[in-house]
Amino acid sequence: MVYSSDALLLGLNRREVADLVEKAGEPSYRAQQIMDGVYRERVRSLDQVSTLPRELRENLSQRGFAVGSPAIQQRFVSRDGTVRYLVAFGDGETVETVWMPEGDGGEAGDGSEAGDSADAPARGWDRATICISSQVGCAVDCQFCLTALLGVKRNLSAGEIVGQVCAVLNDQKVSLPQERINLVFMGMGEPFLNYDNFIKASRLLVEEVGIAESRMTVSTAGIVPRIRDFGLEPIRPKLAISLNASNDELRTRLMPLNRKWNLEKLLAAARDFPLRNRERITFEYVLLRDTNDAVRNAEEVVDLLQGLRAKVNLIALNPGPGIGFTTPAEERVLSFQKVLTKAGIPAFVRRPRGRDIYAACGQLKRTIEIMPVAPPS
Ligand code: SAH
């Protein structure tokens, strides 16, 4: 069926659904029932919202209203339990969304230890992280990232961002709020170049789907004006910044956007960022062999982060075809980490998840490249 995107319920907030219900001449409590069906029960079709009278369900369907859930087109399962999903939207565009279970001997997505898994449920995980995409492709030209090779096709709508989460939660049979789910906006795309939809989606995820804001992290390549806007949001995920270099010359080479927003501007925005109680800004640093992985670079990072409430996640490059860098040796990673921790900056080495299925950071391009998907007819 063809419908315009404003007829999709997924992505609408409380006020918008209330509006719609009023226009349909229905009592206002119907809005709550629709919201609960779409976001709490995560129905895929209006027909499944059992609290709505049959006539209303039919009436809405006839007028072209639909939930608008994206479809899971493919699943790739890694040896380490990670699942990479190819998620397709109404126009045939696809993104990748990654499920990373933790607690069965795995490692937490935030670099901390997974903790005691003695009381983990039989299904083998006691918490999980979902990594979601914000755009089809990406416009930021980071030289070590496979997604960058795609360029940007389009922004995702708020409903498409929330829809990825609902699709994966349903596929993994997750009950909220009982089960511990973390969410990272670290998939394909630059969330801060799709700011309004990203913000709307994160609010829906907090207020309607039921994932705490303290369990969500957004990562930006460093869109400085949006970092400043983001600090003013009443509801927001935690902030991570992709630093990836220890001086401007190097950062401009690796991330050309550094020409526009250099380290001075970026770190000024980080310093001004209003942190909540016990919150830290995470700085991600992708280690590239013989490029940015020397002890001297680590010392420069220490200087840059002086006085910031920060932690650093170190990620050894996940390699890929067309990427002109290689992964550093383990000792280099550990020496780099040691410089930071000695200077009092908490630093964690992130183990790659799902490298065998190209699901690790910076690798989200593979499916489209190796398995082109025909748009649905
Ligand atoms: N656009 C956002 C979020 C997506 S990238 C951003 O740039 O932060 C998520 C993280 O993956 C970033 O920290 C990025 O630096 C890292 N990354 C990109 N390519 C990588 C690769 N090939 N290996 C390891 N990490 C990579």
Give tens-digit pLDDT for 131-160.
999 999 999 999 999 999 889 999 999 999
Which candidate, 9, 19, 91, places its Cα nearest to that of 57?
9
Q: How many CA atoms lie within 13 A of 148 on its CB side?
A: 17
- Choose, from 131, 142, 145, 361, the residue flagged as catalytic: 361
Tell me the two tokens of residue 15. 């006020």
Q: Rounded to whole angstroms, how far apart are CA atoms 332 and 15?
A: 53
| CA of residue 242 to ligand 1 center, whole Å | 7
Categorize the per-residue pLDDT at 319 as very low, low, confident or very high, splitting at 50, 70 and 90.
confident
Spatial neighbors of 319 by CB under 8 A, at least 6 apart, are 325, 326, 327
Categorize the per-residue pLDDT at 113 as very low, low, confident or very high, splitting at 50, 70 and 90.
very low
pTM higher than the cut 0.85: yes
Lowest mean pLDDT among 88-102, 152-166, 188-202, 361-375: 361-375
pLDDT at 368: 63
Lowest mean pLDDT among 19-23, 38-42, 118-122, 265-269: 118-122
Q: Which atom of ligand 1 is nearest to the CA of 242?
A: 13
Q: Is 96 a catalytic residue?
A: yes
Tell me the two tokens of residue 223. 């869109």
Residue 63: pLDDT over 80: yes
More confident residue, 358 or 207: 207
Q: Rounded to whole angstroms, how far apart are CA atoms 100 and 128?
A: 5
Cα of 47 vs its chain's centroid, Å: 30
Q: How many CA atoms lie within 13 A of 16 on its CB side?
A: 11
- For the sheet containing 94-102, what is the strand order? 71-77, 83-88, 94-102, 127-131, 181-185, 216-220, 238-242, 281-287, 310-316, 347-350
pLDDT at 62: 87
pLDDT at 175: 94
pLDDT at 124: 78
Q: Which of 95, 140, 284 to mutate to test the pocket of ligand 1 (most atoms within 8 A of CB)?
A: 284
| CA of residue 186 to ligand 1 center, whole Å | 7
∠182-183-185 over CA atoms, to 5°?
A: 155
pLDDT tens across 243-257, in order? Answer: 999 999 999 999 999
- Choose, from 26, 93, 96, 213, the residue flagged as catalytic: 96
Residue 115: pLDDT over 50: no
pLDDT at 345: 98
Q: Is 142 a catalytic residue?
A: no
**Region 337-365 average pLDDT:** 88
